[in-house]
Amino acid sequence: MKLSILGSGSWGSALAVHFGRNGFSVIQWCREPEISEEINKKRENSVFLEGVTYPESVRATNSPQEAIGEADVVLSVIPTQFTADFWKKHEELLRGKPLICASKGIDVKSLKTLSQIYFQIFGACENYFVLSGPTFAKEIASGLPAAAVIAGIEEEKTLQLVKALNTKTFRFYASGDVLGVELGGALKNVIAIATGIADGMGLGNNARAALITRGLHEIRRLGKAMGAKEETFYGLSGVGDLVLTCTGNLSRNRQFGLSIGRGEGKVDEKYVVEGVYTVKAVHQLSRKLKVEMPISEAVYKVIYEGRKPVEVMEELLSRPVKEENC
């Protein structure tokens, strides 16, 4: 099977290396010419996946035509805020090809998820799939075991893809809940910033566990209001990815939160911190759909209203008492 991977950040590169090592013929589209040149000549992407050797089965290019043209399946791994423009620009090349989106976020301009954007551009979703779950790029590229979900609207097509892409180290599960799977991946980034802030402030293990658990509740509430299946949030793309990102120090969202909590607020501009954008969309969507999301709102206040973490944490703790399961 010929795989096209769109994007040469850490995740696109890890997927290229993984599938390349596992018998697939991979062509990777890189936005930056120096990255494609380095991959082809030195078998490395030292900017986004330092220290990992690319197999010979991966070729890199700057040409979307070359990358997409002959592919059987396209994996789209472009940061969320740039995805709509790329898909629109290359609509003709992409139309009719199975496309698996592995990016995690909500488009801030339109407040749409990436499957909703795909539907708007292509008018149908039977060729659209989402890949999401607890997967740090570095670990996948190192060949460590992992599991994730691939969701699509047609059961048979989704199962075929899952079977075709399964390898000995990276196991996929099939799902029919495209919206639930993509929302789990997008919304956990905001909670990871929150737990990072709390850890950076030194609030302890108890606070982290409370934020993860209550964070899962608010992810589920927004997901349900948007039309996702509640049970999806208890799977790999929901609680699985939430726990990984809120506790694993390889997470950029968690690192960003840690830095705020320590009073630094530094962000490495080379990497995308999706939660910074998604929290803006969540702020508007939760209001529009009348869903209470106090932890996400606290993150919004810290990032966009310049509020002090210690103040928003006090506000979170002084909210009126309520039943746990609502």
Ligand X SMILES: NC(=O)c1ccc[n+]([C@@H]2O[C@H](COP(=O)([O-])OP(=O)(O)OC[C@H]3O[C@@H](n4cnc5c(N)ncnc54)[C@H](O)[C@@H]3O)[C@@H](O)[C@H]2O)c1
Ligand Y SMILES: O=P(O)(O)OC[C@H](O)CO
Instruction: Judge whether 9 is annotated as a binding position.
Output: yes
| Contact characters 60-99, ligand X, x per CB under 6 A | -----------------xxxx-x-----------------
Closest to ligand X by CB, 182 vs 199, is 182
Taking the CA atoms of 10, 12, 16 and 19 in sequence, report the sign of the dihedral they define: positive
Query: Least CB distance from residue 49 to ligand X, whole Å?
Result: 8
**Looking up tokens 């909500």, which residue turns up?**
106
Roughly what angle, to the nearest 10 degrees, separates helices 309-317 and 294-304? Answer: 160
196 binds ligand X (CB under 6 A): no
Near ligand X by CB under 6 A: residue from 4, 5, 10, 281: 10
| Contact characters 92-111, ligand X, x per CB under 6 A | ----------xxxx------
Instruction: Judge whether 7 is annotated as a binding position.
Output: yes
- 305: exposed, middle or buried (Cβ count in 10 Å: 0-12, 13-18, 19+): exposed
CB under 5 to 8 A by kind: which of ligand Y, ligand X, none does 103 bind?
ligand X
CB 63 within 8 A of CB 90: no
Q: Phi, psi (5° rounding) for residue 107?
A: -70, 120
What letter does residue 49 receive in the DSSP assignment? B
Instruction: Judge whether 11 is annotated as a binding position.
Output: yes
Query: Least CB distance from residue 85 to ligand X, whole Å?
Result: 7
d(CA 175, CA 218) in angstroms, rounded, equals 22
Catalytic residue among 2, 41, 188, 280: 188
190-206 CB burial, b ≥16 within 10 A, e <16: bbbbbbbbbbbbebeee
297 binds ligand X (CB under 6 A): no
Closest to ligand X by CB, 31 vs 224, is 31
Residue 188 bears catalytic tag: yes
What letter does residue 78 receive in the DSSP assignment? S
Closest to ligand X by CB, 10 vs 296, is 10
Near ligand X by CB under 6 A: residue from 19, 24, 29, 48: 48
**3-state secondary structure labels for all residues of 5-18:** EECCCHHHHHHHHH
Q: Alpha helices of 90-154 — where are they, by DSSP H? A: 91-94, 114-122, 137-141
CB under 5 to 8 A by kind: which of ligand X, ligand Y, none does 9 bind?
ligand X
Give me the residues that bind ligand Y (CB under 6 A), please: 104, 134-136, 189, 192, 241, 244-245, 251-253, 274
Instruction: Judge whether 107 is annotated as a binding position.
Output: no
Instruction: Judge whether 46 is annotated as a binding position.
Output: no
Q: Phi, psi (5° rounding) for residue 242?
A: -65, -50
Near ligand X by CB under 6 A: residue from 3, 5, 6, 11: 11
E strand or H helix at 132: strand 128-132
Q: Which residues line the annotated binding site?
A: 7-12, 31, 82, 104, 133, 135, 137, 188, 241, 251-253, 272, 274
Interface with ligand X by CB under 6 A: which residues?
A: 7-12, 31-32, 48, 77-80, 82, 102-105, 135-137, 271-272, 274
Active-site positions read: 188
